[in-house]
Amino acid sequence: MNVIPFRIRSTPEPLAFAIGTRVDLRIGALGGGVVRPRGSPGEAFAFSNLARLMRGARMAWLERGARSPLTLAVPEEIQGSLEAELLSEAALEAGCTRRSFSFQLNERQMVAAGPGLAEALRARGWSIVLRGDPDCPLPFGARARALYSEVVVDAPTSPDPFLALESGDRSPLGRRLLAAKAAGLIVTAECVATASQARMLAIAGFDRGGGPFAEAGLR
């Protein structure tokens, strides 16, 4: 009896990144994508690995037919040890352009280590997205207008529709929203669960949202 060997197909390795979507809360159009590295941040942000990760994310995004900008979410735990030159050169090596790619930095780490990384990336022409801390410690004024293009915050499940009014909410989030709007920044809710929440956030002054609502709307 002849035995015919069958090659066992190996399980493909998971991608080194995940891409989440962020949509315009008013019209539902795709506003951008956020790239989150998987695995060890230290390994992912070694130059050669980082350039491959960015290139792979850019190609995957284009294969989805998306033309809106991508943002790389820099993990908070290694943000303080990174240099702007490494991030900038890796992005250029991956074929990213300054008009279609930005870096998301964590506010808490910027308070701890200072704004040096953000300022150095901005000086090289890259846009900076600020991942806001719930306590909103950084002031938003002329400097914020020059440094950031977008702020991403954790949004309430049942938002106060008067958050963006001068006479409205005076919580840290309410003040942050007012200051961000005055500075001309895009305000993004990190996670939006339902269409109802999306409508209320839009009324409250949010521009974009990610999470289940964004993913469901683009399937």
Distance, CA of 46 to CA of 34 (rounded, Å): 19
Instruction: Specify the pLDDT at position 102.
Output: 98
Residue 167 has pLDDT above 70, yes or no: no
Instruction: Specify the pLDDT at position 171.
Output: 82
- Could you tell me the domains of the chain? 17-217 (3.20.20.450)
* CA angle, residues 107, 210, 152, in degrees to nearest 5: 20
Query: Token pair of 166, please?
Result: 């001068």
The secondary element (H helix, E strand) that includes residue 120 is helix 116-123
Instruction: Specify the pLDDT at position 58.
Output: 96
The residue among 25 and 145 whose pLDDT is bigger is: 25
Angle of the 116-123 helix axis to the 84-93 helix axis, nearest 10: 40
Most confident range, picked from 35-44, 90-99, 135-144, 169-178: 90-99
Single out the residue of 163, 169, 118, 164 nearest to residue 144, CA to CA.
Answer: 118
Instruction: Specify the pLDDT at position 112.
Output: 92
